A and B are shown apart, each in its own frame.
Chain A
């Protein structure tokens, strides 16, 4: 039983990391007022470019993941231009970006021969004897570097958002772009930067899946994890720490599903496979009941393109 708990908790972080990074990336963009559905696509771009950098250029895994971040940030310029410069509908532009990225990522993989090529990828940080401590060893000292970096990344994001001038500007643009504009903050530039920075984190989430988690690139390998990140943002009410909690919850559920089967617990399998979604539903209902009298924490201008002349 203890062994079961230890191996369960030890496999949870690698499943939770993509959700956490993806959701925080989306939060950055949405706190600036840009409703962002691109995660599923940009994660694929991050995953394929990181795997490509490792396979074709023998980049060390961490450098490959940095390439994945840069590639996702670059591709997000398309989405940003659509919704910020051309003021396209943010939902439709987001969906179009996902489809575009699905096609682009599998084209890149096929064109350069990266599809279904195994590589060694990012392994756990070598803690030496610490990793063999019973119970704590595999859980605390058995993870890879990016898994340890998630909490510092979240810390930086929440400090920047909450305690700095730049974060104040970003939130102002998301809550009330007219007021921010009147105060001399450039709405388009702030939104562009928020989308690019957020997309880099989403790219890292995808790169983590291909380089650290499974160590192979396969078409559409994110398999809906980007959409779960989108749901987590709403679940977390645009707060990075609550997003981390949701990501860990999801990771833990996804880790326990195969563990139950492997331990020989005979449950109806289709029911078991729906547990992550049942859990989402349950938490969403609970959150909306518990907070029904609280003021909404959705960014005020979320999904609304900003035009200087308009009075809304």
Chain B
């Protein structure tokens, strides 16, 4: 590292340190406290046995119940609509529940409003975007786990042609795709990733068509960022491999699925509930963004097509991520059009992650 860059890095580091001190101080000034012991309720976006996003919360529930020592009721299939979210939330609050956990982006505004109306109730919203003194949105750094799945995909691939079935080109999906390709290149520098966007989170017919099209074009490992296990099921039918999202999709396609990016919500929500109980909870004004270390996301790895040697590499990379030695989106990094996106020595900021609308070289996709 040359001197000027070092100076810049130092200045940046101290700026970050100072701002975080300032934040903690202001947050401590009016620390939030609930009345009595935590009584937690969960509002699920999908059915609790959807095999993916919603079920991951349902599976975290028993552990959370142990932590707070009380049953956690769940309402399922609550659509992203204020008139659907408010009644169950209000009913829980009337019955004395003081920690409400939501599970959708579309709950953001309603949760903001509820949190203002009920200042003594703690609100948490997965994949939300609003925050406040008693409201914190949270989402996992899925690019960490999907980077590792990309490594597993390249390890399982014979051709180096990987395929990926994704919902929509949103930042949360784009960073998954980029990290997947970066992980793949760590194993096989020539690996390419062809992406098909289905335009829907939950349309197995389109997912099947997309997976079939990718395999017909020669892809031999299929990654995914959609909500159903269909791409893995098709991969298994066609005798190729794949990697899953949300939960360990080996449940649906044991032969095909080599690695899955999984949610580990108990690991993140457990300590959060502890801190709410202890009265030390200070919701971040930018929301919580836990990675493998803090328990937002992790991997279920690896299938039999990943050699022992590569498996060791993947687990070592996982440890590097936990130890902070690999932030994945580090410079120098240019997008596939040649435009510099991360300067040498820099790490992409969270703000830029949430704006990601570019792809790295090796990603083949529609715009």
Contacts and interface: CB of A to CB of B under 8 A. Distances in A.
A30 to B, nearest CB: 25
Interface in A251-278: 254-255, 257-270, 272-273
A261 B196 contact: yes
A48 B51 CA distance: 16
B284 interface: no
A268 B367 contact: yes
Contacts of A265: 366
B169 interface: yes
B366 A261 contact: yes
A215 B238 CA distance: 14
Interface string B186-223: 00000000111111101111111110111011010000
Contacts of B230: 214, 216
Interface string A199-237: 000000000010001111011110101000000000000
A158 interface: no
A131 B228 CA distance: 30
B209 A118 contact: no
B32 interface: no
A7 B213 contact: yes
Nearest to A18: B205
Which residue among A106, A109, A262, A272 has the maximum number of chain B CB atoms within 10 Å of its CB?
A: A262
Contact of B200 (A215, A223, A264): A223
A21 interface: no
The 4 closest A-B pairs by CB, nearest first: A116-B51, A269-B366, A262-B213, A258-B213
Interface of B: 46-47, 49-52, 55, 76-77, 163, 169, 194-200, 202-210, 212-214, 216-217, 219, 228-230, 233, 252-253, 364-367
Given A116-B52, A254-B209, A259-B216, 15 more contacts: A11-B213, A110-B76, A116-B55, A116-B229, A216-B230, A219-B50, A223-B200, A223-B203, A254-B206, A255-B209, A258-B212, A262-B214, A262-B216, A266-B367, A269-B366
5 contacts: A214-B230, A219-B202, A223-B202, A254-B206, A260-B366
Interface of A: 3, 7, 11, 15, 106, 109-110, 113, 115-116, 118, 209, 213-216, 218-221, 223, 225, 254-255, 257-270, 272-273
